[in-house]
Amino acid sequence: MKAVRLHEFHSQPVIDDVPEPTISGPLDVIVKIGGAGVCRTDLHIIEGQWDAAMGTPLPYILGHENAGWVHEVGSAVTNVAVGDTVILHPTPTCGLCHACRAGDDMHCENSDFPGLSRDGGMAEYLLTSARACIKLNPETQPKDVAALADAGITAYHAVRKALPLLYPGTTCVVIGAGGLGHIGIQCLAELTGTNIIVVDRNPDALKLASELGAHHTVVGDGSQVDAVKDLTGGQGAHVVLDFVAEQGAEMDGWNMTRRAGSYYVIGYGGTLTIPTLDIISTERNIIGNIVGTYNDLAELMVLAQNGKVTLHTNTFPLDAAVEALEELDAGRVRGRAILVP
């Protein structure tokens, strides 16, 4: 089968011919990929940022946002059958550790991460687990929802955690209206009564944000912190969801957060430098976010299949994976790039 494999860091991946995966365990599922998302995390993987955390031997297949059709199942699989349309939770889990038993399966002690810790889904087929499969309506096209498997669940997870703080009369700032941010805006609009302010450097992204439910938009031209303060009576936002968190956005996010407010870090790449006195004297909170649980993704798919959350996508054939990565890196992808084998 064809697959997009990374052979060395700081170099673009290569389209290789590799053997198809095979069933080896009773809960194994092989999925014929119908759509694989291209994510900024893939750029960070290529840059070597994940090497220390994962230590995955090269070469391996990229792709951690995957949807498709069940191709083959192990002997103990009962929740899906051959031919079913599925979206895949990005981290197959064990179901037996304390985190899994507590419903916090994103922190499973025995999970793996296809596309980061082993071969992923930028290929014709992917080996996963029955525990990762969420069955979809058969008319759903995998290419239309694949990016919800990571970008979508990550945005939804952050909004879900912030819900108790986003009652009517509050303000939420969204930094970045790109691949994750445009999903987060829709989740906020659907699930809360908060006033939504979106900050982005790109006027087209801000136009999309307004269409998706933002009440105010702010151009990231250097005056964005003051603009947010002006929109919030000088106080700042109750919640800031930072889908960028690099190139200075991380300090902007902190400075946009009001006293006793909460700053949610969803993007990454930057460094926060904050005096501890500033944290305790204002009682501001910093909350980290990494992907989400199986139930988060299941809930998000209910919204998606009811038309409440939609992905804005740009599709590329699998052979054009390098082009898709370059377009994403150059900031020319609005919404999400999707590879279709």
Tell me how many degrees the CA angle 310-311-317 measures, rounded to the nearest 5: 145
- Across the range 112-121, mean pLDDT stands at 94
How many angstroms separate the CA atoms of 129 and 90, rounded?
10
pLDDT for residue 77: 98
pLDDT confidence tier of residue 54, bands split at 50, 70 and 90: confident
pLDDT for residue 137: 94
How many angstroms separate the CA atoms of 32 and 218, rounded?
42
Answer whether residue 334 shows pLDDT above 80. Answer: no
- Mean of all residue pLDDT scores within the chain: 95
Please name the CATH architecture into which domain 154-288 falls: 3-Layer(aba) Sandwich (3.40)
Please name the CATH architecture into which domain 2-150+291-340 falls: Alpha-Beta Complex (3.90)
- Name the strand (E) or helix (H) holding 177: none
Answer whether residue 335 shows pLDDT above 80. Answer: no
Nearest residue to 195 via CA among 175, 216, 176, 178: 216
Give 114's strand partners.
118
pLDDT for residue 55: 84
Answer whether residue 53 shows pLDDT above 90. Answer: no
pLDDT for residue 51: 87
pLDDT confidence tier of residue 232, bands split at 50, 70 and 90: very high
How many angstroms separate the CA atoms of 2 and 186, rounded?
35
Answer whether residue 163 shows pLDDT above 80. Answer: yes
In the chain, residues under CATH classification 3.90.180.10 are 2-150+291-340
- Name the strand (E) or helix (H) holding 291: none
pLDDT confidence tier of residue 333, bands split at 50, 70 and 90: confident
pLDDT confidence tier of residue 297, bands split at 50, 70 and 90: very high
pLDDT for residue 332: 85
Torsion of Cα atoms, 295 then 157 then 183 then 163, to 10°: 110
Strands 28-38 and 336-340 turn out to be antiparallel
- Name the strand (E) or helix (H) holding 33: strand 28-38
Return the sign of the alpha-carbon dihedral for residues 185, 189, 190, 192. Answer: positive
The reported pTM is 0.92
- Across the range 185-198, mean pLDDT stands at 97
Structure tokens at 189: 């609009």
pLDDT for residue 89: 96
- Across the range 287-307, mean pLDDT stands at 94
- Across the range 177-195, mean pLDDT stands at 95
> What order of strands is seen across the sheet that includes strand 195-200?
216-219, 195-200, 171-175, 237-242, 257-265, 285-288
Task: Name residue 66's amino acid.
Answer: N
Looking at the chain, list the stretches that DSSP marks H as alpha helix, in order from N- to C-terminal side: 40-46, 51-54, 98-101, 142-145, 151-162, 181-191, 203-212, 224-231, 249-256, 276-282, 294-305, 321-329
In this predicted model, what pLDDT tens digit does every residue of 67-91 receive, in sequence order? 999 999 999 999 999 999 999 999 9
Strands 257-265 and 285-288 turn out to be parallel
At residue 146, φ and ψ (nearest 5 deg) are -50, -45
